[in-house]
Amino acid sequence: MSDISKKVSAFEKRYAVEQVGEVTYIGDGIAKVVGLTDVMSGELVIFNNGTKGMAQNLETEQVGVIIFGKYDDIHVGDLVRQTGRILEVPVGDGMIGRVVNALGEPIDGLGQIKSDRTRPVEHAAPGIMDRQSVCESLATGQKAIDSLVPIGKGQRELIIGDRKTGKTSIAVDTILNQKGKDVICIYVAIGQKESSVRSLIEVFRQHGALDYTLVVSAGASEPSPMLYIAPYAATAIGEEFMHSGRDVLIVYDDLSKQAAAYREISLLLRRPPGREAYPGDVFYLHSRLLERSAKLSDALGGGSLTALPIVETQAGDISAYIPTNVISITDGQIFLQSDLFFAGVRPAISAGLSVSRVGGAAQIKAMKKVSGTLRIDLASFRELESFAQFGSDLDEATQQKLNRGKRTVDILKQGVHQPLAVEYQVAILFALSHGALDDIPIDRIADYERRLFDFLDAQHPELLTEIRQTGDLPDEETFFNAIYDFNEQFV
């Protein structure tokens, strides 16, 4: 009898209360659910078939849920479980070199990702006192950007322009240029064709960039909730590296498609439309994403997350709703002009409309010295060029400015997927600013540039080494004499 008494006294009532809801509507990546009275905004819910969803609209009678993944086999009447958690993605070194979807699940056929850590997709941005000023250069390998609109670690620099003007190429070349520089890169493809993403992955593979790059893809064929959540998931993966004291570069390609996906979700959830049918919180959509990019204070490890968001314009209109929103959040923009692109000036960067609000703080001293007046010279050349076509009689000074301007435009041209080390950029811009190219025919500029680099590598490697190691110009007289010696033998 005593054994029975012991067992009775040791008996514990164990039960768990689980709140479940019922699907009343399903379609277009959206579900309406009744019965989830205690669900929180942004809470993760699980459908009968294991598909994940997130509570988005909390109404009196029902909850609007966005569905992450396929919803073909979810039906009216299916049960939905609360989890009490928010959406999380796996993070860590195991993600590098992989291609994942918006939920951090591998889609490259290379098996499961080894990761024992997760981070919430939505996370508060670092506070004011947790940051420090952007002061370290993040070289893109592109002369036109590193000299005119320099980018620093922790900066948000918008790449904006019409369709097919080279926006993605600039971002991809920046990733390729990080090889061997201990920068982890994340490329987020939002609403792009699967074939385009596949081609980009192949470019990364050919250049050895997959050793430090991961790709997050939410393709054009996926439901809009996947396009909406992809940038936040990618940022969470990047934040893990940033908080461990590492430097991260993240490319959002592009935020126009994310805004369109969010508009679609909001209209399906019957939220009131505002300007251009976007919901009222479309500004917050991008501000809470881009504010997560920062250069952390030394007390927090000094890691950085640099963002290159891409926005597509229509007919060059940068005053449209989404472009102006993102311009106001970022620390500058690189504006690509269609007419320059079609005229063969590539990258087609508009010197007048492009700006870096971090400025010279993100440049090494050598680059600052050789590119000081480059923007003004380029702008005045464009102005003179438009006037010069109306008259033939030009004074010598004007003619000299036009000649220098033409050579400046030609020097800033660069082939795709051919990033250039900063010491070579400094060398050719030094030659330009000191008049070494003034007598070189325009059609021989590219040949001059290539042979100058070969000459410096062979005859004066110490000059290039000094720029690379100290970040400052070598003795200017010695540098000029070396370039003059090359000019003497260039025929």
Topology adopted by domain 90-363:
Rossmann fold (3.40.50)
411 near 144, Cβ under 8 Å? Answer: no
Q: Domain map of the chain by residue range?
A: 20-86, 90-363, 370-489
In sequence order, the β-bridge partners of residue 213 are: 185
pTM of the model: 0.93
189 near 213, Cβ under 8 Å? Answer: no
> From CA 454, how far away is CA 465, in angstroms rounded?
14
CATH code for the structural domain at 20-86 = 2.40.30.20
> From CA 491, how far away is CA 489, in angstroms rounded?
6
Per-residue pLDDT 10s for the chain (491 aa) are: 577 777 767 767 666 677 899 999 999 999 999 999 899 999 999 999 999 999 999 998 999 999 998 899 999 999 999 999 999 999 999 999 999 999 999 999 999 999 989 999 999 999 999 999 999 999 999 999 999 999 999 999 999 999 999 999 999 999 999 999 999 999 999 999 999 999 999 999 999 999 999 999 999 999 999 999 999 999 999 999 999 999 999 999 999 999 999 999 999 999 999 999 999 999 999 999 999 999 999 999 999 999 999 999 999 999 999 999 999 999 999 999 999 999 999 999 998 899 999 878 889 999 999 998 898 888 888 888 877 766 567 788 888 888 889 999 999 999 999 999 999 999 999 999 999 999 999 999 999 999 999 999 999 999 999 999 999 999 999 999 999 999 998 86
CA-angle at 210, arms to 235 and 303, nearest 5°? 40
In sequence order, the β-bridge partners of residue 131 are: 296
Q: Is 98 a catalytic residue?
A: no
* Number of residues written out for the chain: 491
- Architecture label for domain 370-489: Up-down Bundle (1.20)
Residue of 357, 375, 382, 444 marked catalytic: 357
> From CA 178, how far away is CA 308, in angstroms rounded?
14
**Six token digits for residue 390:** 């109306």
Sequence-ordered alpha helix ranges (H) in 163-253: 167-176, 194-206, 224-243
- Confidence (pLDDT) at 13: 64
**Six token digits for residue 102:** 């918006």
